[in-house]
């Protein structure tokens, strides 16, 4: 190794020269394109090895007009929302499929005004080849921005009040129905719901599923209280529910965090679960396994969500026109219901 402190990294020209071929030929073997004779190909490969050459991605990007990266954009108003393990799993899923390509993952939290602006630039400048958007609120300007930016975009969960061509979502309505029906099948009749913030499609869909199941069974909602998807919010909502309807015998929370909160509120109120009140959640996050009692919940394939979003984006980038996707959910029976 003759590594001078900061030697300029070798360029394709140098490789070509050393291999005694044109830069064009060198480029061809790099991208293993045809029309290079066996000899030259090998000469170039040797030169590459000897020089320790590694192509400059920026130059390649400029020449090919492809950024070599896609972005995951997380909206919301608080940077802390990203601390939700949900996103971590989505990222993990996205990563597994991106790993198989030569694209990188750019992460943008569009939570502050500054952040929104930067996302806007990102879209405008085409610094990425495509974007995945999540956690959009109703009327979030980002939705239009992304749609208008003429850049491949897939949405994780449908944005409320705006039809988008490419999205992958979870069957929230079906899951919520299944949850509620399960409660009903257990003989519960005074079923309350802790909803999510109602300016999101996911919350609305889960609420709809709950209502549908109730209607089908000839029941009516026994109290509905909005939460904010946090455990604390679940506690507050459950307290409110209990105050209004002390005879509630079951509650469906729109996510596990809130269900866990409900569990705590119920215990604090001296009620047993599932004895006095059954609780069912949604998401099947880690917390569901370790809450007390463990949560019966609707499992949603979060990592798969990340994967499918990414696959769809890749298809879009490749010029395809994939159809929207709805991922299935399934009931996970544990002890809270």
Partner DNA sequence: CCTCTTTTTGGAAGCGCTTCCGGTCACCCT
Partner DNA sequence: AGGGTGACCGGAAGCGCTTCCAAAAAGAGG
32 vs 185 by CB, closer to DNA: 32
Minimum Å gap between C-beta 57 and DNA is 8
How many residues interact with DNA (rule CB under 7 A)? Answer: 30
Minimum Å gap between C-beta 297 and its own copies is 16
Minimum Å gap between C-beta 28 and DNA is 6
Question: What part of residues 170-229 is at the interface with its own copies (CB under 8 A)?
Answer: none
CB-based contact 180:209 (threshold 8 Å)? yes
Cα–Cα distance measured from residue 179 to residue 5, given in angstroms and rounded to the nearest whole number: 63
Provide the mask over 11-40, with x wherever binding to DNA is found by CB under 7 A and - wherever it is not: xxx-------xxxxx-xx-xx-xxxxx-xx
Which of 2, 5, 8, 270 binds DNA (CB under 7 A)? It is: 8
Provide the mask over 46-85, with x wherever binding to DNA is found by CB under 7 A and - wherever it is not: -------x-xx--xx-xxxx--------------------
Binding footprint of its own copies on the chain (CB under 8 A): 6, 9, 54-59, 61-62, 67-69, 72, 79-80, 82-85, 87-89, 91-92, 95-96, 99-100, 104-109, 111-112, 114-115, 118, 121-122, 124-127, 150, 230-232, 235, 260-261, 264, 267, 286-287, 289-290, 292, 303
Interacting residues toward DNA by CB under 7 A: 8-9, 11-13, 21-25, 27-28, 30-31, 33-37, 39-40, 53, 55-56, 59-60, 62-65
């Amino acid at each position: 190794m003759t590594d001078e402190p900061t030697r300029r990294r070798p360029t394709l020209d140098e490789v070509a020269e050393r291999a005694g071929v044109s830069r064009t030929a060198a480029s061809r073997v790099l991208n293993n394109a045809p029309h290079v004779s066996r000899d030259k190909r090998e000469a170039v490969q040797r030169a590459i090895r000897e020089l320790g050459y590694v192509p400059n991605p920026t130059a390649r990007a400029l020449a090919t007009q492809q950024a070599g990266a896609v972005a995951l954009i997380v909206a919301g108003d608080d940077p802390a929302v990203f601390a939700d393990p949900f996103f971590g799993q989505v990222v993990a899923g996205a990563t597994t499929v991106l790993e198989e390509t030569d694209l990188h993952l750019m992460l943008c939290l569009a939570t502050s005004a500054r952040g929104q602006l930067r996302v806007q630039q990102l879209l405008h400048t085409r610094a990425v080849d495509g974007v995945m958007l999540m956690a959009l609120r109703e009327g979030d300007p980002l939705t239009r921005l992304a749609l208008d930016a003429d850049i491949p975009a897939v949405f994780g969960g449908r944005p409320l009040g705006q039809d988008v061509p490419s999205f992958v979502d979870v069957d929230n309505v079906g899951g919520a129905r299944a949850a509620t029906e399960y409660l009903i099948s257990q003989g519960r009749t005074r079923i309350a719901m802790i909803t999510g913030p109602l300016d999101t499609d996911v919350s609305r869909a889960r609420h709809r599923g709950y209502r549908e199941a109730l209607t089908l069974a000839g029941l009516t909602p026994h109290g509905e209280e909005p939460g904010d998807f946090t455990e604390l919010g679940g506690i507050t909502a459950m307290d409110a529910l209990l105050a209004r309807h002390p005879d509630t015998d079951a509650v469906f929370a729109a996510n596990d965090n809130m269900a866990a909160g409900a569990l705590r509120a119920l215990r604090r109120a001296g009620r047993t679960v599932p004895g006095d009140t059954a609780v069912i959640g949604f998401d099947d996050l880690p917390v569901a396994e370790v809450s007390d009692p463990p949560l019966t919940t609707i499992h949603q394939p979060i990592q798969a969500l990340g994967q499918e979003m990414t696959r769809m984006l890749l298809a879009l980038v490749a010029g395809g026109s994939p159809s929207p996707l709805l991922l299935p959910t399934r009931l996970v029976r544990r002890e809270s219901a």
